[in-house]
Amino acid sequence: MNPFQYSKAKSADAAINGYMEHDNTAYLAGGTNLVDRIRRDVTHPDYLIDVSELPFSKIEKIEGGLRLGAMASNSDTADDENVKNDYPIVSEAILLGATDQLRNKATNGGNLMQRTRCSYYMSPHFACNKREPGSGCDAIDGHNRILSVLGTSEKCIASYPSDMCTALAALDAVVQIQTPNGGKRSLPLVDFRRLPGDSPEIDTNLKEGELITSIDLPESSKAFAKASHYLKVRDRHSYAFALVSVAAALVMENNMIKDARMALGSVAAKPWRDQEAEAMFIGKKPSRELFEKIAEKTMEGAKGYGENDFKIELGKRAIVKAFMKVAGLS
Amino acid sequence: MDKIEEKELWPEEKSLMKAEISRRKFITSATLAALGLAMTPYATLAAAPSNKPVNFASFVEINTTINGQNMKMKLDPRTSLLDLLREQLGLTGSKKGCNQGACGACTVHMGKDRINSCLTLAAQIDGKEVTTIEGIGSETEFHPIQVAFMEHDGYQCGYCTPGQIMSAIKVLEEDHAGSDAEIREWMSGNICRCGAYKGIVEAVKSVRDETYDKKLIKRTQQKVS
Ligand SMILES: Cc1cc2nc3c(=O)[nH]c(=O)nc-3n(C[C@H](O)[C@H](O)[C@H](O)COP(=O)(O)OP(=O)(O)OC[C@H]3O[C@@H](n4cnc5c(N)ncnc54)[C@H](O)[C@@H]3O)c2cc1C
Ligand code: SF4
Ligand code: FES
Ligand code: FES
């Protein structure tokens, strides 16, 4: 394991200043992803700034919605009464991910920032453009069963496996950020993570030194609380990353669909939303045929790379299954 | 150092010998640390405080409570909580299965929660309370879940057992033992290569229903000659 220095930040300003003062620094929250990557020789920070005790660990009501502190644990978030009542798929998605041990340690900010589980990325013996820009991608012609079929590039086909963030993306969550000049900015969660394009080494639109302070859920998304479901398809019943997941949510009025949200997980480098596909729900009566048509449209541009070809059909079936359940038809 | 015949040595004793320290001395220093008397200097190399760890960067100092004992330590920041427990403090009950968060053999309690000690930096337990398998029950009595595991064959080789027990305690405390399915889901962070799952579920249920054999709770003292 490469050597590094460690310090615990007492305030957000101190954390950010510490980050900017040292080269090759990383924030450490729960450590369930970062410590794993350091130990596997995938990443080599010289300096770790522990942000886990910064005062952003509350889940609190704010004007316009609910604020999930970046340092709140995934467990506390899933257990929160407001999350369970008003945004139930967030709770569902978290509890279908990892294990209680991991969720107790994992934070909301860390979950959002977790990197791909691509096995070539996670092993320094292989070529990987994400880990080492320009080295190539051993996954494209390799064992890519868990990797992406949407939004890929010839540089990288990594998938993003966060269950929590798939649900958050469906509900239009917004990421709150503190910047190095003392300012604040926000980014919609759907735009927070990037598709690989020519620079797969850059996962997110977070800039050097920026610190995530919370993820906010808008009041308006409470409308989906009555009819929503998070479907996770995986190799074993528990304690496994998703092969495909669907966050599905509807608002019904007089048996017609008034509003709809759909986000797919583990099929792209970010939680996948397709606004055109979502528009196809509106004003329609829910039916298997409708959901099949929407599933076809969503996976229209999908491209398989061999081992992961099955994800295209699986994705369609998962969409239909999830919405049949939400609409009360299954 | 004590003279030990090479052929009688276990691998761990060999490595301790290499580090020029006898097993007895090692245990003494671990006990000192556990009593909070030692400023344990290097936590990646348990045995040889005079050797600096490889590629060493700097120390981090922590003040923590492990199994009710307050301790102050200086650590290499790379040290995981699991390695601190096993290699430095001689608390070898917590096991290293995968070292990647994927098996649960290293499960301990930190504050009110169970966590994977392999993915926790020891530096992160500063100011916190940690309980390991060695810290449950008492000198004279087992924890009920330990009795239940014995009664229901909740193990075969026993390697995953300390982690299973640390998880089971929380599953019961947090009321996630309502049904077999619920127990299985909330225990799923602990993998058992021997497949003792059936016995584990039965053990958890017997503590939930208080049907475990209370006569077994006393630890019988066995003299080792
Ligand atoms: C065995 C295993 C199984 C898992 N299964 C699942 C699963 O099924 N579903 C799922 O969704 N996830 C799963 N996970 C992933 C888990 O959810 C993540 O590891 C966890 O959420 C990361 O959170 P953390 O706080 O531990 O992050 P850390 O490991 O501390 O950090 C991760 C990254 O985020 C950065 N970071 C952390 N906080 C901030 C902040 N506030 N601002 C800016 N950057 C920050 C760090 O610099 C680092 O790069 C699994 C993990 C393991 C090990
Ligand atoms: S898919 Fe992306 S992460 Fe995986 S090896 Fe290729 S470049 Fe690396
Ligand atoms: S050793 Fe920690 S989870 Fe396997
Ligand atoms: S008893 Fe052998 S691994 Fe569980």
∠ CA A232-A100-A164, rounded to 5°: 40
Is B173 found in the same domain as B117? no
| CA of residue A276 to ligand 2 center, whole Å | 29
Kindly list the residues of chain B whose beta carbon comes within 8 Å of any beta carbon in chain A: 55-58, 60, 76-78, 80, 99-101, 104, 107, 113-116, 119-121, 123-124, 126, 167, 170-171, 176, 184-186, 188-189, 191
Q: How many CA atoms lie within 13 A of A11 on its CB side?
A: 5
User: What stretches in chain A show pLDDT beneath 50?
Assistant: none
Q: Which of A246-260, A295-309, B40-54, B57-71 has the lowest mean pLDDT?
A: B40-54
Shortest CA distance from A1: residue in chain B: B78
Q: Report pLDDT digits (tens) over B166-206.
A: 999 999 999 999 999 999 999 999 999 999 999 999 999 99
Residue B130: strand, helix, or coil: strand
Q: How many domains does chain B fold into?
A: 3
Is the pLDDT reported for residue B9 higher than 50?
no
**B120 → closest Cβ in A31, A99, A238:** A31
Instruction: For residue B123, give its domain range.
Output: 56-135
pLDDT of residue B6: 39
| A227 in Cβ contact with A326 (< 8 Å) | yes
Is B131 found in the same domain as B61? yes
Is the pLDDT reported for residue B27 higher than 90?
no
Radius of gyration of chain B (CA): 19
pTM of the model: 0.91
Which of B80, B110, B114, B116 for a ligand 3 pocket mutation test, highest count of atoms within 8 Å of Cβ? B116
Any ligand 4 atom below 6 A from CB of B71: no
Residue B41 resides in a domain: yes
Q: What is the DSSP secondary structure assignment for residue B181, as one 8-state letter?
A: H
Residue B118 resides in a domain: yes
Of B79, B101, B135, the last residue of a domain is B135
Q: Are strands A47-50 and A25-28 parallel, antiparallel or unpaired?
A: parallel
Instruction: Give the pLDDT mean for B49-71.
Output: 81
The reply to whether residue B56 touches residue A102, judged by beta carbons under 8 angstroms, is: no
Of B135, B155, B172, the last residue of a domain is B135
Is B111 found in the same domain as B41? no
Report in angstroms the alpha-carbon separations of A232 from A93, A258, A264, A280, B163: 8, 25, 10, 23, 27
Chain A residues closer than 8 Å to B124 by CB = 28, 31, 50, 52
Is B61 found in the same domain as B31? no
What is the DSSP annotation of A76-105?
HHHH-HHHHHH-HHHHHHHHTSS-HHHHHH
Is B171 found in the same domain as B209? yes
Residue B62 resides in a domain: yes
Q: Which of residues 269-328 of A touch B (CB under 8 A)?
A: none
Q: Report pLDDT digits (tens) over A205-219.
A: 999 999 999 999 999
Is B190 found in the same domain as B150? yes
Among the atoms of ligand 3, which is closest to the Cα of residue B117? 2
Is the pLDDT reported for residue B57 higher than 80?
no
| CA of residue A166 to ligand 2 center, whole Å | 21
pLDDT of residue A131: 98
Of B104, B135, B166, the last residue of a domain is B135
Is B127 found in the same domain as B71? yes
Is B64 found in the same domain as B18? no
Residue B35 resides in a domain: yes
Is B39 found in the same domain as B61? no
Is B87 found in the same domain as B19? no
Any ligand 4 atom below 6 A from CB of B158: yes
Burial class (CB in 10 A: 0-12, 13-18, 19+), B70: exposed
Residue B98 resides in a domain: yes
Domains in chain A (CATH in brackets) are 5-50 (3.30.43), 224-326 (3.30.390.50)
A4 touches chain B (CB under 8 A): yes
User: How does residue B58 score in pLDDT terms, banded at 50, 70 and 90?
Assistant: confident
Among the atoms of ligand 4, which is closest to the Cα of residue B193? 3
How many CB atoms within 10 Å of residue B56? Answer: 14
The angle that helices B23-34 and B11-18 make with each other, rounded to 10 degrees, is 80
Q: Report pLDDT digits (tens) over B123-171.
A: 999 999 999 999 999 989 999 999 999 999 999 999 999 999 999 999 9
Residue B225 resides in a domain: no
Any idea what the CATH number is for the domain that residue B149 is in?
1.10.150.120
Residue B16 resides in a domain: yes
Is B167 found in the same domain as B105? no
Provide CB contacts within 8 A for A288, sequence distance 6+: A320, A324, A329
Residue B223 resides in a domain: no
Beta bridge partners of A27: A49
pLDDT of residue A228: 98
Is the pLDDT reported for residue B16 higher than 70?
no
Is B87 found in the same domain as B25? no
